[in-house]
Amino acid sequence: MFDFPVERELAHDGGDLYLPEQAMVALRAGIATQQSSPFTCRKAGSSPFLRELIIPFGRSGYVALFEIENNSTVAVVAVRHQLEDDYH
**pLDDT tens by residue, 44-63:** 989 999 999 999 988 888 99
What is the predicted pLDDT for the residue at 44?
94
CB 60 within 8 A of CB 81: yes
Q: 3-class DSSP state for residue 53?
A: strand
Q: What is the CATH number of domain 3-81?
A: 3.30.2310
14: left (phi over 0), alpha (psi -120 to 50) or beta: left
What is the predicted pLDDT for the residue at 35?
79
Q: Please report, for the chain, the start and end positions of each structural domain, with discontinuous segments joined by +.
A: 3-81
What is the predicted pLDDT for the residue at 20?
79
| Short-list 70, 40, 61, CA closest to 52 | 40
What is the predicted pLDDT for the residue at 2?
63
Task: Compute the distance between CA of residue 69 and CA of residue 11 in angstroms, rounded to an integer.
Answer: 39
Instruction: Looking at 34-81, list the stretches that DSSP marks H as alpha helix, in order from N- to C-terminal side.
Output: none
State which residues of the chain have pLDDT below 70.
Answer: 1-2, 85-88
What is the predicted pLDDT for the residue at 1?
61
